[in-house]
Chains A and B, each alone.
Chain A
Amino acid sequence: MKKRWTLAHLEDRAMRTIMQLASLVLVGVLAAILVTIFIRGLPFLDLDLITKTPQGGFFLGGEGGILNAIVGSLLLAGGGTLLALFISLPIAFGINVYTGASRLASLLRMALDVLWGIPSLVYGAFGFTIMIAFGMRASLGAGILVLTLLQIPIMVRSMDEVMRMVPSELSQAAYSLGATRLEAAWSVLVRQALPGLVTAVLLAFGRGIGDAASVLFTAGFSDRIPTSLASPSASLPLAVFFQLGSPFPEVRGNGYATALVLTVLILFISMLSRFLARRLSRNVIR
C-alpha cells in the first residue's frame, strides 16, 4: 500500500495544482479591482465631493461635487424598489401559493428568468420608446418606472426561491388549523421567508443603484437635485461614465472617487442585507 506515482495520482496532483492556480489568479484579480478603486479614488475623495452639487464648469475641472448623482441614484433606486416590491410580492404569491407546482408556474418562472437575462440597455430602449410614444421627457419618474421593470424579475425570482424553500409542512400546519390560502401565505410564508424577502429587496435595490444603461435613456442627467418626478435626474454610474470621458485629469480623478462612492454604497447595502437577514431569522423555523 506504499505511495506510488501512478498516472491517476499524477493527474490528480496536476489538476489540483491547476485549480489552485486558477483560484488564486481569479480571486487575486477580483481583490485587485477593489484595491485599485480604493487607491485611485481615495486621493480625490473629499467632503465637497459628496456634499455639493456640480457648480459651473464642474465637468471642466470646476468646483462642486456629485451630490446630485448620489441623491438621484438613491431616489431612482429607492422609488424603483418600492414600486417593484408592490408588484413583485403579489407575483411571487401568485406563482407560489396559487399556481403551485403546475406547468404554468414553471412557464412563469422561465419567463422571469428570461426577463432577468434581458440587458438593462434593452429595458432602457423599451422605456425610451414608450416615453416618446407618450411625449414624455427624460425624467426621474420615467427612470423609476424603467428600473421597476428591471427590478421585478430580480425580486420575484429571489422571493420565489426563498418561498419555495419554506417547507410545505408549515403551510399545511396553517391549513390544518382552518386557515385559507391567503391567511396561510401572509401568516406563515411571509414570516418564514422574511429574511430572504429582505435580501431579495436589497439585492434589487443594489442592482437599481448600479445600473446605468437603463437610466441613460430614461432619467437623463442633470446637475441639479431633481425637484419633481418630471425633472431629469443624475445617477452615480452615469456620473462616473461622464467624468471619465473628460480630458481633464482632475475630472477623471473625481470619476474614480465617484466609482469609490458607488462601490462603498454597494458594499454597505450588501452587508446591511446580510446583517438584516441574520437579525430577522430569529423567528424562522429550521
Chain B
Amino acid sequence: MQNTQDSKLHTQARRIRKDELAARNYRLAASFPLFLLLIMVVGFFLRTQPLLEHSSVWEILSGMQWRPSAGEFGLLTFISGTLSVTLLALLLAAPLCMLTSLFLVEYAKRRALTAILPAIDLLAGIPSVVYGVWGLLVIVPLVPQISSFVQPWLGSIPLFAANNPTGYSILSGGIVLAVMISPIIISVSIEVLRSVPDGLRHGSLALGATRWQTIKKVVLPRAMPGLIAAIVMGLSRAFGETLAVMMVVGNTPLIPRSIFDPGYPLTALIANNYGEMMSIPLYDSALMGAALLLLVIVIIFNLGAALVLIRANRRAQV
C-alpha cells in the first residue's frame, strides 16, 4: 500500500517536473519569431552599413542615378517603380474586392457564398508565377490596345500618355498584382463581414432601412478596421512580389510618368542583380539596402494595421 502511494507521488512529481521543463522550452521556442525578426533587421542593417558610410540615407533614397561601377546607388527610380505598381494594384483591387465581398456576404444567397468561398481560397494559394504567366499571355498584349483606346480622350494627360509601344508597363504590373492579391483580400474581408453579428443588421432592417443603408451605416463602420487590415495584407503581398511583376513590368530603369510606361521595382532590381553583387565594391551593400528598405516598409505597414485593429477592438467590445 505504502509502495503504491510512493510510486504514485513519484510519478506525479515527475509529471510536474516534465511540465515545468516543457514550459521553459516552449516559452523559449515562442520567442523565436521575435528573435528572427530582430536578426533580420540587424543583419540587413549591418550589411548596408558600408554603403551608408559612403553616402547618406537621403542621397540613396532620392538619388536618380544607379551606376554601381561609378559608385552611384540612387534608389529613387526603383522606389518609384515599386510605389507606382503597388499603388495601381491597390486602386484596382481595393474597390473591386470590397464590392465583391459585400455582395457575397450581404446580398448573395448563402449557397452562392459557400460555393465560391473554397474557390477563392484555392485561388489565394496559386503561386504568383502563374499569375505572371497569365499577365504575360493576356495582359501584356492587351495593354497597348487599352492605351490606343484611351489616347483620343486622355492622351494629353501625362499620366495616360503613350510613350511605350509595348505592353510591358506599370499598368500590366498593377493589373497582375491586383488580380493576384484579390483572392487574399476577398477571403479575409468575407471573414470580417461575417463576424459582424446579424443582430446588428436586423436591428437596422427592422426599422425599415434598406440593405444598402444598413451596410453603409451599420455594417461598414463596424467592419472597417478589419477591412483595412485585409487591404493592408494584400498590399504587403503586392509590395513584395517579385517574379510576377518582373515578368510584365518592363524592367527599364526610368521613373514612370504614365501608367503605360515601363518601370523597375526594387524587388526586380535585387532579383536581377544578386548574381554579380560581389563583383563591384558596395554593390552588395546597396542591394541589401534595397532589401532592408522593403523589410522596413513592410514592418511599418503591418504595425500600422495592427494598431488600427487593436484600437478598433478596444472600441468595439459590444
Cβ contact within 8 Å between B288 and A118: no
Q: B23: CB under 8 A from chain A?
A: yes
Known contacts A210-B126, A263-B130; decide if A152 and B271 are in contact (CB<8 Å): no
Question: Shortest CB–CB separation between residue A25 and chain B, in angstroms?
Answer: 7
CA distance A36 to B125 in the complex (A): 17
Binds B, one of A45-53, A57-65, A120-128, A223-231: A120-128
Q: B137: CB under 8 A from chain A?
A: yes
Cβ contact within 8 Å between A110 and B127: no
Cβ contact within 8 Å between A108 and B271: no
Question: Shortest CB–CB separation between residue B201 and chain A, in angstroms?
Answer: 14
Q: A259: CB under 8 A from chain B?
A: yes
Question: Shortest CB–CB separation between residue B93 and chain A, in angstroms?
Answer: 9
Question: Shortest CB–CB separation between residue B147 and chain A, in angstroms?
Answer: 19
CA distance A30 to B185 in the complex (A): 13
Q: Which of B222-247 contact A (CB under 8 A)?
A: 233, 236-237, 239-243, 247
CA distance A152 to B33 in the complex (A): 9
Chain A, interface SS category: helix
B22 nearest in chain A by CB position: A182
Determine the chain A residues whose CB is within 8 A of the CB of B27 once the complex forms. 94, 98-99
A20 nearest in chain B by CB position: B103
CA distance A158 to B295 in the complex (A): 22
CA distance A206 to B127 in the complex (A): 8
Question: Shortest CB–CB separation between residue B2 and chain A, in angstroms?
Answer: 21
A16 nearest in chain B by CB position: B107
Binds B, one of A164-172, A190-198, A236-244: A236-244
Q: CB < 8 Å: which of B100, B179, B294 contacts A119?
A: B294
Cβ contact within 8 Å between A19 and B103: yes
Per-position 1/0 for B124-135, Cβ under 8 A of A: 011111111110
Q: B211: CB under 8 A from chain A?
A: yes
Determine the chain B residues whose CB is within 8 A of the CB of A132 once the complex forms. 278
Cβ contact within 8 Å between A111 and B291: no
Cβ contact within 8 Å between B127 and A237: yes
A29 nearest in chain B by CB position: B179
Cβ contact within 8 Å between A22 and B103: yes
Cβ contact within 8 Å between A12 and B213: yes
Cβ contact within 8 Å between B31 and A108: yes
Q: CB < 8 Å: which of A8, A36, A110, A216 contacts B134?
A: A36
Q: B122: CB under 8 A from chain A?
A: yes
CA distance A25 to B138 in the complex (A): 15
A interface residues, tally (CB under 8 Å): 83
Determine the chain B residues whose CB is within 8 A of the CB of A236 once the complex forms. 127
Q: B28: CB under 8 A from chain A?
A: yes
B interface residues, tally (CB under 8 Å): 86
Q: CB < 8 Å: which of A120, A203, A267 contacts B240?
A: A120
Chain B, interface SS category: helix
B182 nearest in chain A by CB position: A26
Q: CB < 8 Å: which of A22, A37, A98, A128 contacts B99?
A: A22
Determine the chain A residues whose CB is within 8 A of the CB of B34 once the complex forms. 107-108, 111
Binds A, one of B60-68, B161-169, B296-304: B296-304
Cβ contact within 8 Å between A36 and B137: yes
Q: Which of B39-68 contact A (CB under 8 A)?
A: 40, 43-44, 47
Per-position 1/0 for A73-112, Cβ under 8 A of B: 0000000000000010011011101110000000110111
Per-position 1/0 for B250-284, Cβ under 8 A of A: 00000000000000000100110010001000000
Cβ contact within 8 Å between B179 and A27: no
Q: B219: CB under 8 A from chain A?
A: no
Per-position 1/0 for B189-217, Cβ under 8 A of A: 00000000000000000000011110100
Known contacts A266-B126, A270-B125; decide if A259 and B267 are in contact (CB<8 Å): no
Determine the chain A residues whose CB is within 8 A of the CB of B157 once the complex forms. none
Q: A174: CB under 8 A from chain B?
A: no
A179 nearest in chain B by CB position: B15
State the A residues within 8 Å of B (CB): 8-9, 11-12, 15-16, 18-20, 22-23, 25-27, 29-30, 32-33, 36-37, 40, 87, 90-91, 93-95, 97-99, 107-108, 110-115, 117-122, 125-126, 128-130, 132, 149, 152-153, 156, 180-183, 203, 206-207, 209-213, 216-217, 236-237, 240-241, 244, 255-256, 259, 262-263, 266-267, 269-270, 274
- Jot down 23 A-B pairs with beta carbons below 8 A, ordered by A: A8-B210, A12-B210, A20-B103, A20-B107, A23-B103, A23-B108, A37-B130, A91-B30, A94-B27, A94-B29, A108-B30, A111-B37, A115-B37, A117-B298, A117-B302, A120-B242, A121-B242, A181-B23, A212-B243, A216-B242, A216-B271, A262-B130, A270-B122
Ranked nearest first, the 5 interchain pairs of A and B with the lowest CB-CB distance are A119-B240, A210-B127, A94-B30, A19-B103, A22-B99
